[in-house]
């Protein structure tokens, strides 16, 4: 296989390839752009007009999506996958991936949309670099822009695979993109209702891409991901890359929709989350339940009908979200 097909190996060993550009026997061009970043260009004349950014390893211990991107890139490099889209493969936090940790100094997925400028250190620099990779990749006019940022979650989940759809004032969530996600095996989508500081929020809000965070199961070390079934997603991504995707139509095919009721923000070291340590994502919480307390007698009490919790994490830094309270959404505002 072409040396550049081994982007993960290059990234894990912190190696810069001697040859920065290579061409597959089928005429696709692979170009190493920097640590953990590689662009695939389809052969001349085969281009479908789609620019697809696939990122994983924004959190270094979320290995199933990294392994998925590795399989896709191997497929391109050995000619089994024939790209008709321009694709960028990005491993988000190489130093954290090498250590098998979520992050080194701070959560990189809270440093986008300008936040890295207010911070310093390793992850802040990398977030700026990731924004620049994405900005350059999505700079070509009149092309379709799509970004999937692939993750796995800290805890188990009542709904195993789901997407988070960022928000931008004046932009409507696309029913067609949701149908595509359902076909890719996603069981639920959380429709965000305010601007955010994650990687997918950056490409959605600033680069006009359709962009999603995909949560694909529980985070495990490399080689221990047999419990995470990515077959449907992998099949769909290959179809998107090859330009052979079947029409999805408008049917959301049993896809559950949720919207954010409230983000639980941890303000101080006195923050206390009243949930069992092993609670699963999408667990229901009844009205009146005292969810969290913080200093100055701040109390988070569930007021919403049908409320559920995702990503509860009392260990986050002060000022960051320690959980999201979500409610079912009717999908009435979809375009
Ligand atoms: O399991 C958890 O608590 C976090 C899993 C994770 O990394 N989720 C992403 C979601 C990003 C988004 O809100 O779009 C994150 O927290 O960064
Ligand atoms: Zn993650």
User: ipTM, 2 decimals?
Assistant: 0.95
Tokens of 93: 């936090």
Enumerate residues lining ligand 1, CB below 6 A: 59, 109, 151, 153-155, 164, 198, 200, 213, 311, 313
In angstroms, the Cα distances linking 41 to 28, 86, 164, 171, 177 are 6, 5, 28, 29, 23
Pocket test for ligand 1, best of 113, 194, 198, 279 (most atoms within 8 A of CB): 198
- pLDDT tens digits along 290-318: 999 999 899 999 999 999 999 999 999 99
Backbone angles phi, psi at 107, to 5 degrees: -70, 115
- pLDDT tens digits along 251-290: 887 999 999 999 999 999 999 999 999 999 999 999 999 9
Sequence-distant (≥ 6) Cβ neighbours of residue 244 within 8 angstroms: none
DSSP secondary-structure letter at 280? P
Whole-prediction pTM: 0.97
Q: How far is the CA of 153 from the centre of ligand 1 (A)?
A: 7
Q: Specify binding-site residues.
A: 59, 62, 151
Tokens of 225: 């991901």
- Report the alpha-carbon distance of residue 332 to residue 335 in Å, rounded: 9
Give mean pLDDT, residues 198-219.
Answer: 97
Ligand whose nearest atom lies closest to the CA of 214: 1
- Report the alpha-carbon distance of residue 150 to residue 161 in Å, rounded: 11
In a 3-state reduction of DSSP, which class is residue 77? helix
Q: How far is CA 102 from the centre of its chain?
A: 14
Q: Is residue 335 over pLDDT 90?
A: no
| Residue 215: active-site member | yes
- Report the alpha-carbon distance of residue 248 to residue 228 in Å, rounded: 24
Tokens of 304: 């919403």
CA angle 312, 314, 315 (to 5 degrees): 120
From 215, 247, 293, 297, the catalytic residue: 215
Longest pairwise C-alpha distance within the chain: 66
Confidence of residue 105 (pLDDT cuts 50, 70, 90): very high
Give mean pLDDT, residues 329-333.
Answer: 91
- Report the alpha-carbon distance of residue 280 to residue 265 in Å, rounded: 19
Give mean pLDDT, residues 186-203.
Answer: 97
In angstroms, the Cα distances linking 270 to 62, 273, 292, 297, 315 are 29, 10, 10, 10, 11
**Percentage with pLDDT > 90 across the chain:** 94
Pocket test for ligand 1, best of 59, 106, 204, 281 (most atoms within 8 A of CB): 59
């Amino acid at each position: 296989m072409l040396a550049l097909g081994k982007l993960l190996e290059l990234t894990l060993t912190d190696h810069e390839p001697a040859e920065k550009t290579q061409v597959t026997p089928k005429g696709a061009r692979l170009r190493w752009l920097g640590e953990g970043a590689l662009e695939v260009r389809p052969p001349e004349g085969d281009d479908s007009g789609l620019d697809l950014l696939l990122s994983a390893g924004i959190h270094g211990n979320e290995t199933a999506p990294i392994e998925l991107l590795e399989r896709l890139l191997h497929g391109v490099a050995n000619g089994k996958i024939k790209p008709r889209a321009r694709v960028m493969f990005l491993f988000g936090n190489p130093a954290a991936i090498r250590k098998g940790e979520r992050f080194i100094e701070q959560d990189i997925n809270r440093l986008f949309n300008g936040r890295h400028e207010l911070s310093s250190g390793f992850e802040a620099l990398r977030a700026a670099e990731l924004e620049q990779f994405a900005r350059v990749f999505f700079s070509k006019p009149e092309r379709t822009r799509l970004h999937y940022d692939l993750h796995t979650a800290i805890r188990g989940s009542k709904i195993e695979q789901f997407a988070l759809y960022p928000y931008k004032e004046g932009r409507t969530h696309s029913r067609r993109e949701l149908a595509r996600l359902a076909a890719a095996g996603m069981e639920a989508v959380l429709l965000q209702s305010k601007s955010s500081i994650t990687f997918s929020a950056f490409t959605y809000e600033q680069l006009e891409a359709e962009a999603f965070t995909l949560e694909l199961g529980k985070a495990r070390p490399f080689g221990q991901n047999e419990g995470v079934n990515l077959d449907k997603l992998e099949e769909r991504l290959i179809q998107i890359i090859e330009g052979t995707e079947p029409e999805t139509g408008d049917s959301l095919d049993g896809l559950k929709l949720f919207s954010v009721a409230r983000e639980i923000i941890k303000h101080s070291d006195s923050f206390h989350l009243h949930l069992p340590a092993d609670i699963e994502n999408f667990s229901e919480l009844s009205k009146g339940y005292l969810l969290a307390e913080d200093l100055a007698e701040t109390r988070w009490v569930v007021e919403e009908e049908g409320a559920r919790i995702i990503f509860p994490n009392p260990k986050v830094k002060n000022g960051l979200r320690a959980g999201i309270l979500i409610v079912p959404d009717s999908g009435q505002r979809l375009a």
